[in-house]
Copies of this chain bind each other. A is one copy, B any other.
Amino acid sequence: MDQCLGDTTPDEVLIPMQTDGSFLMSDDRVREPLLAARKRAMNTTSQTAIVGTKRCTIESLDYEVVENDLFKEDWRTKTRVQIFKYVCMKWSLALLVGLITGLVGFFFNNFCTFVAYVGCNLLLATVAAALCAYIAPAAAGSGIPEVKAYLNGVDSHSILAPSTLLVKIFGSIFGVSAGFVLGKEGPMVHTGACVASLLSQGGSRKYHLTWRSLQYIKNDRDRRDLITCGAAAGVAAAFRAPVGGVLFALEEATTWWRNALLWRTFFTNAVVAVVLRSLIVYCRGGKCGLFGKGGLIMFDMSSTVSTYSTADLLAVMILGVIGGFLGAFYNYLVSKILCQYSKINEKGAAFKIIHTMSISLLTSCCSYGIPWLARCTPCPPGLADRCPTIGRSGNFKNFQCPPGHYNDLASLFLNTNEDAIRNLFSGNTGNEFDISTLILFFIAVYCLGLVTYGIAVPSGLFIPVILAGASFGRLVGTILGPISDLDPAIFALLGAASLLGGTMRMTVSVCVILLELTDDLLMLPLVMLVLLISKSVADNFNIGVYDLMIQMKGLPYLEAHAEPYMRHLVARDVVSGPLLTFFGVEKVGNIMQILKTTGHHGFPVINEPPFSEAPELCGLVLRSHLIVLLKGKRFTKDKVLTGSTEVFKSFGSFDFAKAGPGKGMKLEELEISADEMEMYVDLHPITNKSPYTVVETMSLAKAALLFRELGLRHLFVVPKTPGKPPVVGILTRHDFMREHILGLFPHFNQRKKTNEEQT
């Protein structure tokens, strides 16, 4: 997985951040070293033709070509695995061909309906994919990993741009309408974050939607807080779960959490709740057509009987364990599939669209074809008005069945995802769904969810996981039906919880979201138990799905814990040189030279005699501030102090404020004459004179803790004994990354491997 990069472009810019209230004072270096380290080795041997996708070394195979160094090492075992894989693939391809041919033959009889169904879906899918592929590639996928990374301090390219927002909204609408197995909660979170980002930038300057009064929150901390609120509001709106949204923002999204933030997200979500509630009430009278159906609780289960015995508790625990395994396996497969998809996405927009269209075709075939496999079931007595449902949404789809009968698979497949979940969660309906139905549906949804995520359409993961989990839970419930007191609907809820716990690894927020979705407070102890178990089981295998995606996209995410090997290193060990410094009063030419030749975002400023007794560290100066200062052209002929008041006369109050991503002043815009190059400029007014520092012998683990807890961008390493130059180096985010450190000290990696082999 490490060899595969997601579709993130390499021009990510790091956003600076400081958790203190002082005016902002940090930035970062560009991250070429990391990307270089992560760039996967190209594989140009011929064997890739067999699999059909180029340039992937993981799934590639060839039992004839043995020149590849990878295979030379342990030829025997490797080749056996390769042969086995190859044979499996051959057989599964043959099976697929047979299946498709058979199905097409069958569909020929129902050609017209099939074509209409597939055509509509395909059209919608193509529009969604075209939007994503041509206008805003960043809008594809869930968006939660990117928002999470942003709140950690990593700003992926145009992830919060207005174009992304628009495509996210419409792409998501088209995507959901196209009948894909995907959710709208991830895109909603991303949408909320985009709106928040736009507001915090004072609107969009590109589209002439600006609001000048918003400029006073133009700093990283307020922007981050607002985006946290936006993410919370997204969950609140998607699930009608305001408290769950707050908890989601706290548990999953944010890196720096403060009580004030809790209060602010709560405020945002209270507004969401009141607005939602008002609109629901307004729309209840049928004023909004198809809009606004349903109440504040999406899947009401409060009427379900909820008594259970100790034996049920055991069953529920087993459900949790299986859910944990399934969740971890889901994460594993998602990462493998995304790895393959990234190669398709790299080929260009047209390939993205074709890819999306083929997945749409697959989904349509499955949802139209598989219901034919189900038997017709007679309607339960006393439900004549509800069963079968023809020409409207509901539990009991008629499909191909005679009157008075329904097709239970069609009730799940030929419905919106929400309605399918509602059907699975519907209580007191006994054996509405056959066991074979549930098995088929679970397998189909589990696989479709996997292949759908990663296509060029905004797609959430919650709904597919809930859908798969609910069908799996209902399956277990139906099997245990004769011996358990619990309603199969409760099992469906618990199954959803277990799979959510296994993939997302969230606890409190999933618990509250499920509670707010179903209003089934009495099930809370069981839901908590299942979440606990499934998360504990799954944590043994891999990390949560969002963290996995952050890792795959190569985003430099700052982890909460220092890695164990950091304890054996000191700060000095990982500082990479050479260090570039400025003097307090510096020659303009020198500054221009250094700014042009390096990509660093922050530089130490050093005072020398006559401005101090001995060379001493004055502070930190940012690239963006330097550019603004140079543009102001307050230069002097001699090396003299200008004074702050004098300098700030030339600048407005917002000149030094943090611009939106990609909106700051560019170095190329500066026009400085040869005469001016020889003049001096006083850097003291724009120097942050209280930078955080660590001694060079500080344990790297403790330096990492300082760096993360205070949300720093630059950390100065100062010498232990006086006499040396006053700064040894600067630590930035990338110096704490695993790749950087293990690149410098490969023996830590080896030691880890040795440990693993021994255990």
Contact = CB atoms under 8 A, between A and B. Distances in A.
Contacts of A752: none
A565 interface: no
A573 interface: no
Nearest to A284: B307
A320 B96 CA distance: 63
A529 interface: yes
Nearest to A614: B721
A701 B20 contact: yes
A723 B613 CA distance: 11
Nearest to A275: B525
Contacts of A508: 243, 246-247, 262, 266
A448 interface: no
Interface stretch (A43-51, A366-374, A705-713): A705-713
A612 B21 contact: no
A288 to B, nearest CB: 18
A7 to B, nearest CB: 28
Interface stretch (A321-329, A352-360, A636-644, A688-696): A688-696
A273 B242 contact: no
A296 interface: yes
A713 to B, nearest CB: 14
Interface stretch (A216-224, A389-397, A512-520, A591-599): A512-520
A212 interface: no
A77 interface: no
A82 interface: no
Given A521-B516, A705-B19, A689 B697 contact: yes
Interface string A10-36: 000000000111100000000000000
A567 interface: yes
A180 to B, nearest CB: 30
Interface string A167-184: 000000000000000000
A690 B706 contact: no
Contacts of A706: 692, 706, 710
A652 interface: no
A616 B697 CA distance: 12
A566 to B, nearest CB: 10
A203 B692 CA distance: 41
A507 B532 CA distance: 26
A21 B704 CA distance: 12
Contact of A521 (B296, B561, B614): B296
Contacts of A567: 22
Nearest to A722: B722
A206 interface: no
A677 interface: no
Contacts of A262: 250-251, 507-508
A94 interface: no
A723 to B, nearest CB: 7
A453 to B, nearest CB: 24
A270 B529 contact: yes
B525 A274 contact: yes
A258 interface: yes
Interface of A: 19-22, 242-243, 246-247, 250-251, 257-260, 262-263, 266-267, 269-270, 273-274, 276-277, 281, 295-297, 302, 307, 313, 507-508, 511-512, 515-516, 519, 521-522, 524-525, 528-529, 531-532, 535, 560-562, 567, 612-614, 616-617, 689-690, 692-695, 697-699, 701-702, 705-706, 709-710, 720-723
Closest 6 CB pairs between A and B? A722-B722, A270-B528, A273-B525, A690-B699, A266-B507, A277-B525
11 contacts: A21-B561, A21-B701, A242-B525, A243-B512, A250-B250, A251-B259, A257-B257, A274-B525, A690-B702, A692-B694, A706-B710
Given A250-B262, A262-B508, A266-B531, 5 more contacts: A267-B532, A273-B528, A277-B525, A690-B702, A692-B702
